Amino acid sequence: MRTIRSVADLLPAEVDWVMRRSSQHRTGGATGEIRPRTIVGLAFLEASLRTRTGFAAAAVRLGATPIEVLSVRSGPATKPESIGDTVRTLAGYSDVLVVRAGEPLTVPDGVNVPVLNGGDRGPEAEHPSQALIDLFALQQLPVQFDALTIALCGDLRMRAARSLLSLMCERPPKRLILITDHALTDGFSVPPRLQGVSEYRTLDELDDVDALYVVGIPYGALDAAGRTRLRVTTEHLDRLPDHAGVFSPLPVIDEVDRGVLSHPNVRMFEQSDDGLFVRMALLELLLGAGPRV
């Protein structure tokens, strides 16, 4: 049974289909494509706001019913049940699963429904649904994707950034600007297919940037001076061209100044809102809709 752990588990034609389908849902022009009484299992064993409630809302909008597991079963006198057994059990009651395991995603034997990684952990961690949401947001800009100059700012080793970079390998932008700190480069390398379009810069060099994507920085990854150097301010955003958009997988805690959220170029919450339509399309894909490939 199909598992989408990584962006690489999606065919380019499927990514294109999800983008088209998301647009149809956004404009209200799509009719439901899933069987009645479909159940969407959500195993979120690590905190999530957007991914968990976004997939629950997407299920309801499609006419399906979400069922959720938010922790492994445990009690004062028992050892916790394993994550594998928890996922296997939920799979038995569901037609499709979205799993945030809190560790590298592995699908246990006996799971006979499609599984989507809802953002896992580890050196190869990915967040494929977030990357599709990001691509959809970037496609709303008034510049063709392959003509965009996209800047990524923050800890580029985060799962959302890894998945977005992986997605860009199949569809490179014109320029990819990387804004980070040397303390955050251990374990990061630009994917070979993007090296020809990439360059490192600082936050003061945004004049030609069409899209600024703010990646989270985990607590403890950077000292206070480093966090301040990478904090996006309205002065930085005032350097962007008028049409530019500022995006993020969210949450942002201190990666941006609070005033930034009301800046006219900031689209972070619109990006999050549109995530509903992308998640609807992804659930349909997992449940058997999609392009003939």
Residue 216 binding ligand CP, by CB under 6 A: no
Question: Total residues at the site for ligand CP (CB under 6 A)?
Answer: 9
Residue 250 binding ligand CP, by CB under 6 A: yes
Q: Where are the beta strands (DSSP E) in 156-248?
A: 175-179, 198-200, 211-214, 245-247
Smaller CB separation from ligand CP, 127 or 267: 127
Residue 215 binding ligand CP, by CB under 6 A: no
Q: How far is the CB of 249 from ligand CP (least distance, A)?
A: 4
> Which of 249, 263, 265, 285 is close enough to bind ligand CP by CB under 6 A?
249
- In angstroms, the CA 4 to CA 283 distance is 11
Q: How far is the CB of 278 from ligand CP (least distance, A)?
A: 12
Residue 70 binding ligand CP, by CB under 6 A: no
Smaller CB separation from ligand CP, 21 or 127: 127
- Give which of 109, 74, 70 is closest to 92, Cα–Cα: 109
Site string for ligand CP, 28-67 (x = CB under 6 A): --------------------xxxx----------------
Q: How far is the CB of 127 from ligand CP (least distance, A)?
A: 6
Q: How far is the CB of 97 from ligand CP (least distance, A)?
A: 16
Site string for ligand CP, 76-115 (x = CB under 6 A): ----------------------------------------
3-state secondary structure of 78: strand
Please write down the HEC assignment for all residues of 89-124. HHHCCCCEEEEECCCCCCCCCCCCCCEEECCCCCCC
Residue 128 binding ligand CP, by CB under 6 A: no
Residue 117 binding ligand CP, by CB under 6 A: no
Angle between helices 128-139 and 159-170 (to 10 degrees): 60
- In angstroms, the CA 265 to CA 88 distance is 44
Looking at the DSSP bridge assignments, the partners of residue 205 are none
> Which helix H or strand E contains 67, and what residues bound it?
strand 65-69
- In angstroms, the CA 266 to CA 213 distance is 10
Q: How far is the CB of 250 from ligand CP (least distance, A)?
A: 5
Q: How far is the CB of 78 from ligand CP (least distance, A)?
A: 29
- Give which of 252, 148, 250 is closest to 197, Cα–Cα: 148
Residue 130 binding ligand CP, by CB under 6 A: yes
Kindly report the CA angle at 50 between 47 and 56, in degrees rounded to 5? 95
Smaller CB separation from ligand CP, 30 or 56: 56
Q: How far is the CB of 47 from ligand CP (least distance, A)?
A: 7
User: Across the chain, which distance is largest between two alpha carbons, in Å?
Assistant: 60
Interaction site with ligand CP (CB under 6 A): 48-51, 119, 127, 130, 249-250
